[in-house]
Structure 1
Amino acid sequence: MATSPTLESQHVEEKRIWYRGTLFNAFVIGAVGFLAPGLWNAMSSLGAGGAESPFLVNAANALVFGLMGIFCLLGGPIANRIGLNWTLFLGAAGYPVYAAGLYTNNRFGNVWLVLVGAVFCGVSAGLFWASEGAVALGYPEPSKRGRYMNIWLIFRTGGPLVGGAIVLALNHAATQKTKGKVGPKIYLIFIALQGIAAPIALLLTKPEKVQRSDGSRVKIVHETSFAAELRALGRAVSRRDIILLLPVFWAAYFNQYLGNFEVYYFGVRARALIGFVGNFASLLSSQLISLLLDYKGFAVKKRIQIGFYYVIFLHLVAWIYAWVVQSKFAREDPDLDWTSKNFTLGFFVILLWYFSQQALQNWLYYFVSTKTDNISELSRFTGILRGQESFAQAVSFGINTRDWYGGRVPLAVNTILLGLAVVPTWLAVKEHTPVEIEKKYGSEEDYVETTSEVLGGDARSKLVVVKSNAH
């Protein structure tokens, strides 16, 4: 490795290019999230993908998340070999196939394409989440990480919001007060919009070319081969701090009973309204916790600790209330329209679930992002996080393929899992020492850049070595 002896001989003022900035890349990742998983969530927020019965779609979703879990874990090594932009491209390509399966099932009663679409979507989603998480957390300036994560999540939540508006516009008639399925036109709109996501993904800047406003670089340390990447993944999975977080990785996304709750107790147009309005709860939740996570009055560790107690409080409120309402609805078996007496009672359960789950997801991503300043390692961490969440959703959807005593069994399993996650998560927070990258990057005099070529087959990447006078 050849090292420049002085800063003066090495430093050249870099020309700022707008499409290499962190804001542009946040919008790229946000747009792909809006069109691909965002619109998928819009279909999911209808309750079982808008189907009349939840069981086929829940089985397909169990397949989606099972495959997604595997490819989330492999997504980090794959992204480190073929690049984040191509991984993101492949990660968006399978979503329209899934929507096509729902369309043919809704229109013609076709079953096989639902399952084929689930396979395509599961593989794509795994690659998408591993790459998207690394970009959303690893590209921004550390001091703006919470803010940029919020931009990413606003876009992703905007997908269900726009999708929900489309659904509501097409399913608001008085004839759709009762239980049933949504109209097939919705899926054609979703297929067209999701098809745009993959080309947009190619606009993503490569990590080594990203230009941060504070002058710091995205740190990249690739392994020399795919086998070495897998060994690095194995080391990451076996870390004590990651093992402690596995229960909360599962608990954060396990509540797929929400879709069954909608189908059991709400009519079509009520579900359409819930799918639209419920996203505002997620947006508000994301905004509030992002303000906390970027608040400079507290050290990073303090923000993580406060966030931990905050999400516990939200989940206690949400799940106690949910149990009260579930017990009432299980006895009465209502068919609720938005004009019904108990509509608000059930709708508030769903709003609380959305709000508490979004707060936990934001907090988890921020927590994981403070474990490393190397985007290659971060892609492995986010892949593990999303992989475990995906396995959890696969199991949860599998449980929800049957009517377990009016939903009491999946509700109980989810509640127990949340309770079991509290102590190991608290230990992980207690033992955590954040990598506060902003302290490593000061003025230009605080660091010297050196580059070397790390070769692995035909893959070539720039390695940035940072020397800080502060350490």
Structure 2
Amino acid sequence: MGFEKGGGRDHDVEAAKDVDDVVGISFFKSKFRYNSPLVQVCLIGLVCFCCPGMFNALSGMGGGGQVNPTAANNANTALYTTFAIFGILGGGIYNVLGPKFTLMAGCSTYVLYAGSLLYYNHIKKQPFVVTAGGILGIGAGLLWAGQGAIMTSYPPKARKGTYISIFWSIFNMGGVIGGLIPFVLNYHREKAASVNDGTYIAFMAFMSLGTLLALVILPPNKVIRDDGTRCSDIKYSKVSTEAIAISKLFLNWKMLLIVPAAWSSNFFYTYQFNHVNAGLFNLRTRGLNNVFYWGAQMIGSIGIGYILDFSFTSRRLRGFVGIGIVAAVSTAIWSGGLANQLAYPQDLAVDNKIDFVKSGNDFAGPFVLYFSYGLLDAMFQSLVYWVIGTLADDSVTLSRYVGFYKGVQSAGAAVAWQVDTNKASLISQLVVNWSLTTLSYPLLVVLIALAVKDQSKGEEGGTVVAESPTAAVGNDANENEDDLSKAS
């Protein structure tokens, strides 16, 4: 349309056709531009592959790979307590500092935590480990707030589920590789109770790499989608603005409906890591189990991502169907968990730990259960991220929403680690985990019903596309003005 105005009409129309031809030819390549949403989501996935991915593998060993989980439990309590605070504040800090500095500061704390466990391998004293856990909670709050803003605001509106699954797959590949590290390095230490020094050193190397990778993440105003629109074009916020905006989240009915899902989404790790994986299996088998636990997360995120983006034309209907599927899978898996719990002693601390080589059929059932727990974790969290991503489009608002989610999630995890330290019965832990996740599903249904709108035909990913790159950029300028008014 804009090419028809002014002199040289024929020349401009021909130029427009040439541009459209070039865009069509290079459409595939354009997805792999450094400043494309896909590349940036993949890069943040690699950052999380190296840092929280490796941390997850370490935690999945049970007790941080130590014979006595008390030190790791106390460190995790400190971690998730500070995480709860800085998870909520993290969105505001991200809006002030931008992605590079926020992510790099967060990643560096993972290296310190892994180093503290290496220290504990030789000096059996808790204070350094617990302190490092508290510092990691600060860093994790910054990292995950930035990650959430990128993952929910950079993708096209109609493909958020797909991009979330791409991120989740790359991120959890870190858990797969991280699970292989203790498996390989401790394979011939069948009777060993704690992992060797090389295991922690390998984790520290990956985490250091992730800290450096954070420098390649672009701010939202430099990320351009394939149709020419920018993800966001706003100036960094002020501390006072963020403080007011974050405080309002506690009165935001949308966030309140997410609280049960957020609280429960890391609550179950304590039970699964300490009392299924570490409680039933020997050291080398725990490493193998983690490879499949985090591998199952890749499968779960891809499956639910497809349903949330492609199953139906209506976005709200896709959300309802996604919740229904996750709820059904959750019920089946936690039922299996209950059957497994009742078949073992109350503390699950069996004398003869299951070994994948020597235990035969006794290995199969608990292994499938632990694999299924990983599948459910990814489906559940990907679903919640997708729901949050439908509530807004700009990175400023979404960074606050995700920060709130991670803060509440971490508060739940802090409570869970202390519940375990105080020797709560395992059947009680299982029932609480199952109940919390079940409670979240109807509330997410209400949230989608009241707050999520179906995309109009003119929205990105709908049936109508911009007529030219110039028109698309012009439209984006108007959308950014609307986003700014909403954010304020």
TM-score if structure 2 supplies the norm length? 0.85
For the aligned residues, what is the CA RMSD? Answer: 2.7
Distance across 2 between alignment mates of 1:271 and 1:210: 41
CA distance in 1: counterparts of 2:272 and 2:158, whole angstroms:
35
What is the percent sequence identity of the aligned residues? 25
The unaligned stretches of length 5 or more in structure 2 are: 7-11, 24-29, 484-488
| Counterpart pick for 1:289 among 304, 320, 334 | 304
Query: Aligned partners of 1:435 and 1:226: how far apart in 2?
Result: 34
Aligned residue for 2:373?
353
Per the alignment, residue 433 of structure 2 pairs with 414
The 8 Å contact of residues 449 and 465 in structure 1, kept in 2 or not, is answered as: no
How far 1:435 moved relative to its partner?
6.8
Match of 2:173 in 1: 158
Per-residue Cα deviation, 1:373-421 (whole angstroms, up to 9, x for no partner): 111001011111111111111111111113333x222222212322333
- Give the deviation of 1:222 after TM superposition: 5.7
Equivalent of residue 430 in structure 1, options 449, 467, 471: 449
- Find out whether 1:337 has 2:351 as its counterpart: no
Distance 2:118 2:472 in 1: 57
CA deviations on 1:127-182 (whole Å, 9 max, x unpaired) are: 00000011111112223322221221111101111111111111222x51x57212
Give 1 or 2: higher helix fraction. Answer: 2
Q: Return the letter of the residue paired with 2:480.
A: V
Question: Helix, strand or coil for the counterpart of 1:298?
Answer: coil
Partner residue, 2:281: 266
Correspondences of 1:141-290 after superposition (within 5 Å): 141-173=156-188, 175-176=189-190, 178=191, 180-220=193-233, 225-255=238-268, 256-261=270-275, 262-290=277-305
Change (3 A) 1:451 1:305: closer
Deviations 1:319-345 (A, max 9, x none): 111011111112685321112242222
Does structure 1 conserve the Cα–Cα contact (< 8 Å) formed by 2:78 and 2:131?
Answer: no
Mapped partners of 1:438, 1:77: distance in 2: 33
**Letter aligned with residue 337 of structure 1:** D
Q: Which moved more, 1:304-313 or 1:274-283?
A: 274-283
**Which has the higher mean CA deviation after the structures are superposed, 317-326 or 256-265?**
256-265
TM-fit CA distance, 1:107: 2.7
> 105-114 or 62-71, which moves further after superposition?
105-114
Q: What is the deviation of 1:112? A: 2.3
Alpha-carbon distance change, 212 to 409 in structure 1, aligned in 2, over 3 angstroms: same
2:354 aligned counterpart, secondary structure:
coil
**Kept after mapping to 2: 8 A contact 1:336/1:343:** yes
Deviates more, 1:443-452 or 1:199-208: 443-452
8 Å contact from structure 1 (residues 142, 438) kept in 2: no
CA 1:296–1:345 in structure 2 vs 1: closer, same or farther (change >3 Å)?
Answer: closer
Residue of 407, 422, 425 corresponding to 1:402 = 422
| Match 2:405 to one of 378, 385, 396 | 385
Paired AA for residue 88 in structure 2: L
Contact 2:80/2:137 (<8 A) preserved: yes
Distance in 2 of aligned mates of 1:447 and 1:200? 30
Change (3 A) 1:238 1:466: closer
1:94 aligned counterpart, secondary structure: helix
Which residue does 2:74 correspond to in 1?
59
The aligned amino acid for 1:134 is A
Distance 1:293 1:92 in 2: 30
Q: How far is 1:7 from its partner?
A: 11
Is the counterpart of residue 448 in structure 1 residue 474 in structure 2?
yes
What TM-score, normalized by structure 1, do the two folds share? 0.88
Q: Which amino acid aligns with 2:432?
A: V
TM-fit CA distance, 1:425? 2.7
Which residue of 1 is the match for residue 9 of structure 2?
none
Which letter maps to 1:385? Y
Shift of the alpha carbon at 1:223? 7.6
C-alpha displacement of 1:274: 0.7
Pair 21,109 (structure 1): closer, same or farther in 2 beyond 3 Å = same
Secondary structure at the counterpart of residue 23 of structure 1:
helix
Checking the alignment, whether the CA contact within 8 Å between 1:221 and 1:374 is kept in structure 2 is no
Partner of 1:35: 50
CA distance in 2 between counterparts of 1:227 and 1:214 reads: 35
Q: Give the one of 99, 105, 108 matched to 2:114.
A: 99
Q: Is the CA contact (8 Å cut-off) linking 1:451 and 1:465 kept in structure 2?
A: yes
- Bigger mean CA offset, 243-252 vs 137-146: 137-146
Note closer, same or farther for the CA distance 1:437–1:298 as it changes in structure 2 (3 Å cut). closer
Once the two structures are overlaid, the 10-residue window that deviates more, 380-389 or 441-450, is 441-450
1:138 to 143, 150, 153: 153
**After the TM superposition, which residues 457-468 of structure 1 pair with which residues of structure 2 at under 5 Å, given as runs?**
464-465=480-481
- Structure 1 gaps of 5+ residues are 453-462
Q: Supply the AA of the counterpart residue of 1:293.
A: L
How far 1:464 moved relative to its partner?
A: 3.0
Please name the residue that 1:122 is paired with: 137
2:83/2:410 contact within 8 Å kept: yes
8 Å CA contact 2:316, 2:454 repeated in 1: no
Deviation, structure 1 residue 446: 6.5
Change (3 A) 1:389 1:220: farther
Structure 2 residue aligned with 1:460: none
- Structure-2 residue corresponding to 1:373: 393
